[in-house]
Amino acid sequence: MTRADLLALAPLILLAVAAAAVMLQIAIRRRLALTLALSLVGLAAALAGLPLAARWSSGAVTVLVVVDAYGIFYIDLILLATVACTLLSYGYLRRMGGECEEYYLLLLLAALGAAVLVVSGHFAAFFLGLEILSVALYALIAYPRHRTASLEAGIKYLVPAAVSSAFLLFGMALVFMASGTLEFNRLATLLVSRPEISGRLTLWAGSAMIVVGIGFKLALVPFHMWAPDVYQGAPAPVAGFVATVSKTAVAALLLRLLASAAPWQDPPLIRIFSLLAIASMVGGNLLALRQNSVKRILAYSSTAHMGYLLVALMPGGPASIQAVTFYLTAYTITNLGAFGLIGLLSHQNGDADELADFKGLALEHPWLGAAFTAMLLSLAGIPLTAGFIGKFYLVATGLYHALWLPVMVLLVTSGISLYYYLRIVVVLFIRPEETQATPSGRRVIGWSGGVVLAALSILLIWLGVGPQPLVALIQAIAG
């Protein structure tokens, strides 16, 4: 490796060093505020390394990773989302009590795994990044070990994740057996130069198994069974991390894989993705209608949103990159805000999860009610929010590529989703009965969480009203 290669990998190296530094600090002296500060310094250093990576990267760095403008953008998004989760978690961990410093170590490792995913150019790097991310998430989900629901959620995430990893490994082995390579670009070149290989049963069997594994990671129907229980049992900031950073990394990797291997976009594969998209949009929205748990509503909503995403992801090319990247950015901001607010309202014994826990929030804390309302309206795709612009891009991309049925289902199911989003909004303005009044300490908002929530709310409206700067940036990386 050359000096330029090391500088191109600076964000990943600095993130790994930050995790090691936090581990050593915990071994020397336990103090949550110190661990928070060190984690933020490490994340800031990794963010500062991005301009170096952009300057010195020339594409492929070793056989495994590709540090390009696309990967740098997604690493930036992952690091910023991790900063938000880090700050949102501080007040939550203080209320939970006990020794919680290892939480930040796991969060940094999960961010490192997600960052490796988005720059993967080889199935080995893909699997390595995925396992770094997944193993850290097992522990994060079950971190409040005194809560039975969290331990159950950790196990329910562990088992499907292990099954999906097995599918991925078997699929990669079959693809290698059929093509003789695990590099995305070489595989694409091979399929172009030897089109007869694309008809081999082994290659398509391997591709199908990889799609199944990715379907588990994105919680697409029918691989979504783990999502509602895991979201409900996990700590609210961790659920937000799973819904945003984890899924964003996998979706970005899938988009890179499809863009690299354009011949994979044959009609059979397009039909598979169309079926997954339609099933996820319909199933996610219908299952969310009858939920009383806000976390479960957001879990099923996340499944539906991944279905929306597939509509624009299927065609491939610059238009898909622009639509998917903007949508993932808006989706990350919105879900971080929603789960972050749940975390801010949570108490020592459990998270604010039932609809009754949010009664009167807009009357007691108008700015919190306004922020949560904005997040929910963005998820529904209401104008003047980032979610509306994101859905507009998805629909425009789908229509341009004549994906009539998936686009029609997207529009209809988005209308259905209004019911359960507005159901939560209405609860915010209902004054709770005296017998249902919650302790006044429940809604004491710390400085860190308040700052992050305010920043996310501003970004949400800014991207909905004036998205041009972000659109121009995404267009620059789409090539």
Residue 479 has what pLDDT? 66
Residue 437 has what pLDDT? 47
* Average of per-residue pLDDT across 67-78: 91
Is residue 74 classed exposed, middle or buried when 0-12, 13-18 and 19+ CB atoms within 10 A define those classes?
buried
262 or 210, greater pLDDT: 210
| Residue reference for tokens 């522990």 | 139
Whether 197 shows a pLDDT value over 60: the answer reads no
* CA–CA separation, 191 and 200 (whole Å): 11
61 or 412, greater pLDDT: 412
Collect all residues with Cβ–Cβ distance below 8 Å to 50 and sequence separation of at least 6: 10, 11, 72, 75, 76, 79
Whether 264 shows a pLDDT value over 50: the answer reads no
* Average of per-residue pLDDT across 194-206: 67
394 has which bridge partners? Answer: none
- Nearest C-alpha neighbor of 331 from the set 319, 323, 342, 343: 323
What phi and psi values does residue 389 have, to the nearest 5 degrees? -65, -40
| Residue reference for tokens 């403008």 | 69
- Look at 14-18, 56-60, 370-374, 438-442 and tell me which has the smallest mean pLDDT: 438-442
Residue 439 has what pLDDT? 42
Q: Is 57 left (phi over 0), alpha (psi -120 to 50) or beta?
A: beta
Residue 186 has what pLDDT? 79
What digits encode the pLDDT tens for the residues 437-449? Answer: 444 444 556 677 7
Residue 444 has what pLDDT? 57
Is residue 194 classed exposed, middle or buried when 0-12, 13-18 and 19+ CB atoms within 10 A define those classes?
exposed
- Look at 64-68, 101-105, 296-300, 457-461 and tell me which has the smallest mean pLDDT: 64-68
- Alpha helix (H) residue ranges in 97-235: 102-118, 123-141, 148-179, 184-193, 201-218, 226-233
Helix (H) or strand (E) holding 72: helix 69-96
Q: Is 29 left (phi over 0), alpha (psi -120 to 50) or beta?
A: beta
| Cis check: omega of the bond before 467, within 30 degrees of 0 | no
Tokens encoding 252: 């970005």
Q: What is the residue-averaged pLDDT of the chain? A: 87
* CA–CA separation, 469 and 365 (whole Å): 32
Query: Please, are residues 442 and 92 in contact by the beta-carbon 8 Å criterion?
Result: no
Residue 195 has what pLDDT? 55
Strands (E), 321-464: none
Tokens encoding 458: 């501003």
* CA–CA separation, 14 and 18 (whole Å): 6
What digits encode the pLDDT tens for the residues 26-53? Answer: 999 888 889 999 999 999 999 999 998 8
For residue 47, CA distances in Å to 23, 38, 157, 251 come to 20, 14, 30, 21
Is residue 436 classed exposed, middle or buried when 0-12, 13-18 and 19+ CB atoms within 10 A define those classes?
exposed
80 or 196, greater pLDDT: 80
DSSP 420-443: HHHHHHHHHTSPPPGGGPPPGGGG
Percent of the chain at pLDDT exceeding 90: 51
- Look at 186-200, 203-217, 221-235, 308-322 and tell me which has the smallest mean pLDDT: 186-200
Cα-based angle 342, 347, 351 (whole degrees, multiple of 5): 45
Query: Please, are residues 249 and 74 in contact by the beta-carbon 8 Å criterion?
Result: yes
* Average of per-residue pLDDT across 116-133: 92
What digits encode the pLDDT tens for the residues 373-429? Answer: 999 999 998 998 999 999 999 999 889 888 889 999 999 999 999 999 999 999 988
Q: What is the DSSP letter of 350?
A: B
| Cis check: omega of the bond before 222, within 30 degrees of 0 | yes
What phi and psi values does residue 235 have, to the nearest 5 degrees? -55, 145
Q: What is the DSSP letter of 183?
A: B
Residue 269 has what pLDDT? 74
- Nearest C-alpha neighbor of 418 from the set 289, 315, 251: 289
